[in-house]
Amino acid sequence: MKTQSDDPLEFLVNRRKGAADIAAKAKAKGGDAVLTFYHFQAKDKCYSSVMKVLKNDGLKEAIKFAKSETKRVMNELDFINDTQKEFQALMGEIEVFGECYIKLQDLDQ
């Protein structure tokens, strides 16, 4: 098994690609797998936004951004409209911002 990259940008690129691959496979499968599609499709814009902050403002700002976005998205759970699509998308966003915060913080030490 290959180890995770210690390069923050490479880590984000790899995770984004993996999420996109899973989303595409779930969409092609259809049926109940469409929930997996919603979950992993929502991750793309999150990875992209963290990557943008990392490239433009550096690691410390990307860490702050990921932390604040995790909190923001978690607060959106109060406004869920009881659809599976919204729930799956929000869970995907929480996962990305949370994992980015943890991974980038680890790399900063």
Claim: this prediction has a pTM higher than 0.75: yes
39 and 92 in contact (C-beta within 8 Å)?
yes
Q: Going residue by residue through the chain, which has 109 residues, state the pLDDT in tens, using 9 for 90 and above.
A: 878 888 999 999 999 999 999 999 999 999 999 999 999 999 999 999 999 999 999 999 999 999 999 999 998 887 666 788 989 999 999 999 999 999 999 998 8
Q: E-strand spans in the chain?
A: none
Closest C-alpha among 35, 65, 30, 32 to residue 47:
65
